[in-house]
Structure 1
Amino acid sequence: MHTNFTDTSYHIVFGCDDNYVKYAAVTMQSIIENLSPAMFKDGDSPQPQAHTKSLATSEINTSKYPNVPITFHLLHDTLQKETKHKLQALETALNAIYPCTITFHPLSQEEFKNLTPWGEAGANWAAYFRLKIGDMLDSHIARCVYLDTDILVLEDIRELFMIDINDKAIGASRNLYTEGIDIIRDDLVDAQEYCNSGMLLIDLAKWRTKSFEDIQTFTYTQLPDQDFINFIFKGEIYLLPFKWNFVWSHPSRLDFDAKEPYEKNHQIVIPCMNYSRKEFQDALKNPVIVHFAGGYKPWEKVNFAKKGKPIFHKNPYNKHWWRVAKRNVFYPQILLHYLKCSVNTTLSEYTKAYIPALYPFLRKLKHFLKG
């Protein structure tokens, strides 16, 4: 069921620092390049594999979605001048396809420094920036979508804004895993209602009724902002299908029948009780939003083996993400980071597996070279 959309722009929010903004840029590009054809300006979409075509200006208003611009909101800190220049170049490039702007909202991680740092690729506190959405966005905005930066959008995201969330505060998809999450174990949140906070469809009026400052005394720090959001919005989250926040895991690490995690072939296998095998496969075939959580980020390399020969898995949408990244102004930086990460991880993990006596020396050398 669709809701009445009243905003004059589609508002999409990211939270990041200078290290992660390049990945948010790829997400923005994937959003613009996957809008339905009738909304494009004159000229072809730059996405070679897209199903778009050149349309006359008179055809632009034929979309089933409101013909309004997209506003990307960056809740950020430590953005360098060069980074802002690249973001301005990105805005110009994307605006040539579809009307959009990138708006900067400076914040400081210092506000959250007494909380648990969070981040798969290095601990920081930027994940907490999503809690400031109500403060940073104008009061006249009715709804927005929050996205993590490790996301690829494959379909028209405007459909998400049209979804009726039945007077709830948030629309979100259930988390892939619930095993071992303390706030669920203690019965403060129901496992079947525990959602991933990497994609949130937010009713801002209802969002602003909560006291987000309470996170400073929140005692559950396992998945800090995600646990907190699930706790304060208990009973107020509309469950969206898995395709709106599809988190993939390699089949060798996923068990739809198990009740407890176990080790198999040197990997930890985790039970999936929130989705059936069919739901997982259906979302895998036709995702709208792919979320590269859980060690599967395209720009990283993670060894999943507990011992023995290293095991490196790649998300099935990894190549698709790189195709989009290659057209992005941040591509040289992204590629350089990946090459460094790939070489370091491969050398380190194979040394640890086959020449363990040399591994401590390599670690010391790595820290020495970092200064």
Structure 2
Amino acid sequence: MYHIFFTADENYIKFTSVLMTSIVKNATKAYEKKPFCFHILSDFISDVTRKKLEILQKTLSEIYPCEIKIHIQDNAKFDKFPSSGAAQNNKLSYYRLKMLSCLDDNVKTCLYLDSDMLVLEDLRELFALDLKDNIAAVVGDMGSKRAKIKFMEGSEKKTFYFDENYFNAGLLLINVKEYQKAQIEERCEELASKCFYIKGADQDLLNACIESKKRLKLDFAWNFFINAYAYAITKDDKLGYLNYTKEEFKHSFESPKILHLCFKPWKFLRSFNDSKGRNVNDLWWEEAAFTPAFSAELLELKRHIKDHLLYAGLGSLLYRYTKNFNVLKIVHLIKHQDEDLKIAQNAQNFNDKDFALFLLLGEMVLHARAKKKGVFSVFLKALKCISSYEKYARR
């Protein structure tokens, strides 16, 4: 079997179902036809959702053999793990650290995928890779690698700094034997228990515990973050950002294998256009419309989505105020929400080029509101984003 893991709570199962559907529908090449075994790690799944998953399994199996298994986790297992950064709302992101306990002893390889992904190619290509003595095959993360973990070693405070090899844990192809041999799960838990500063939750822990020399670096195409359609700073441009050359990035840009939909389609009807000029969130909704058992629920949700308009509307104003160095207007934008409805309505007809940048900037405004960030922090981040976009955007 091809063993594939996801973490999803009750609310996220319907989104994970679209990902599973895309995996099955793209299993079209001449690889060994072993069944997919989809493992869902969750804290709770209702009887209604379980019945839908049974229908999903039965219907997808008519296309390609597959099985869906549910593994309910006890949050008490994660008491030692910090509730901060990516794990501030729940411990769900840590669940993947326990996934090997769900496998039989004879399983050699397993794959983890984030639920906000869409598969465009035959995923069995990954399972055909020879991992040799590597612990995992991974894809480099976007953005600056200035992140760090701070932890206690006895009575001494220590800091672990990440480098350009930092990977995104949204895709992990695990060599089970080597992962267990290196005691990655145990080391992650031990480090977590000592942390007093961590932002990336399990992703930071895995990056700290899996040595760079024991990773197989995959093409960016296997975990293509859709904000890279707006702009991407490659290692040819500037060290410390996306650890791929311009040529490597270009290949992935033109032929992505898995889209990582960080601007989630269930919140954003519109996001970024791919190399063919298609709104990538439309691709997800096309799959959702034909996802067995969950399509009606998803399409009803689609009718009420407006976040993309608010983000873009706020971003357009932040762009204007930043370019004019109008800090007082930025203060007003962050502090007051009474005009949000009108701002969102004005975003209906933004062109594709502007929409991409405005989404990124709008996210900054809403993050500043939620986290009570200062105006100068927002201004400087917006200035940097605009400068990077103007310099590195794909034309």
TM-score after normalising by structure 1: 0.72
1:116 corresponding residue in structure 2: 83
1:320 aligns with 2:287: no
Measure the CA separation in 1 of the matches of 2:171 and 2:233. Answer: 24
Tell me, yes or no, if structure 1 residue 228 matches structure 2 residue 205.
Answer: yes
Matched, 1:67 2:48: no
Q: C-alpha displacement at 1:82, in angstroms?
A: 0.9
The one-letter code matched in structure 1 to 2:267 is E
Shift of 1:106: 0.8
Q: For residues 242 and 250 of structure 1, do their structure 2 counterparts lie closer, same or farther at Cα, with a shift above 3 Å needed?
A: closer
CA contact (8 A) 1:119 1:127 kept: yes
- Alpha-carbon contact 1:71-1:102 (below 8 Å) kept: yes
8 Å contact from structure 1 (residues 32, 97) kept in 2: yes
Matched, 1:11 2:7: no
> Aligned equivalents of 1:162 and 1:199: distance in 2?
16
Quote the offset at 1:188 in angstroms. Answer: 4.1
Sort the Cα spacing of 1:358 and 1:115 in 2 relative to 1 into closer, same or farther, 3 A. Answer: closer
Q: Letter of the aligned partner of 1:35 in structure 2?
A: A
Instruction: Specify whether residues 180 and 203 from structure 1 end up closer, same or farther in structure 2 by C-alpha distance, changes over 3 A only.
Output: same
Q: Give 1:278's match in structure 2, choosing from 229, 247, 253.
A: 247
Gaps of 5+ in 2: 151-157, 275-279, 318-328, 342-395
**Partner residue, 1:308:** none
**1:76 matched to which residue of 2?**
42
Q: Does 1:134 align with 2:100?
A: yes
Deviates more, 1:349-358 or 1:206-215: 349-358
Gaps of at least 5 residues in structure 1 are 1-8, 38-62, 261-270, 303-311, 364-371
Q: 8 Å contact 2:265–2:285 — kept in the other structure?
A: yes
Give the match for residue 213 of structure 1. Answer: 189
The residue type equivalent to 2:189 in the other structure is E
| Residue 140 of structure 2 corresponds to residue 163 of structure 1 | no
Secondary structure (helix, strand or coil) at the match of 1:123 reads coil
Equivalent position of 1:238 in the other structure: 216
Quick check: 2:85–2:198 contact (8 Å CA) kept in 1?
no
Distance of aligned partners of 1:334 and 1:108 in 2 relative to their CA distance in 1, 3 Å threshold: farther
- Three-state SS of the structure 2 residue aligned to 1:227 is helix
Mark the CA change 1:109 to 1:66 in structure 2 (over 3 Å): closer, same or farther.
same
Q: State the distance in 2 between where 1:347 and 1:187 align.
A: 38
Distance 2:46 2:298 in 1: 16
Q: Does 1:202 align with 2:174?
A: yes
In angstroms, what is the RMSD of aligned CA positions?
Answer: 3.2
Offset from partner CA, 1:268-310 (integer Å, 9 cap, x none): xxx73412333222102111111123xx2222239xxxxxxxx
**Residue 274 of structure 2 corresponds to residue 298 of structure 1:** no
Query: What secondary structure sits across from 1:208 in the alignment?
Result: helix
Q: For residues 203 and 319 of structure 1, what CA distance do their matches in structure 2 show?
A: 34
Cα separation, 1, equivalents of 2:130 and 2:138: 12
Check if 1:181 corresponds to 2:147. yes
Residue 213 to residue 251, structure 1, CA distance change in 2 (3 Å): closer
Alpha-carbon distance, 1:18 to partner:
0.7
Residue 389 of structure 2: aligned partner: none
For 2:170 and 2:310, locate their aligned partners in 1 and report how far apart those are by CA, in whole Å. Answer: 31
Q: Give 3-state SS (helix, strand or coil) of 2:247's partner.
A: helix
Distance 1:346 1:248 in 2: 18
Partner letter of residue 118 of structure 2?
L
Report Cα offsets for 1:201-243 as digits up to 9, x if no partner: 1011222231142223234511111111011111321111111
Q: How many residues align structurally?
A: 305
One-letter amino acid of the structure 2 residue matched with residue 325 of structure 1: A
Q: 1 or 2, which has the higher helix percentage?
A: 2
State the identity as a percent: 30
1:321-346 CA-partner distances (Å, limit 9, x unpaired): 11111101222333344444x33664
SS at match of 1:177: coil
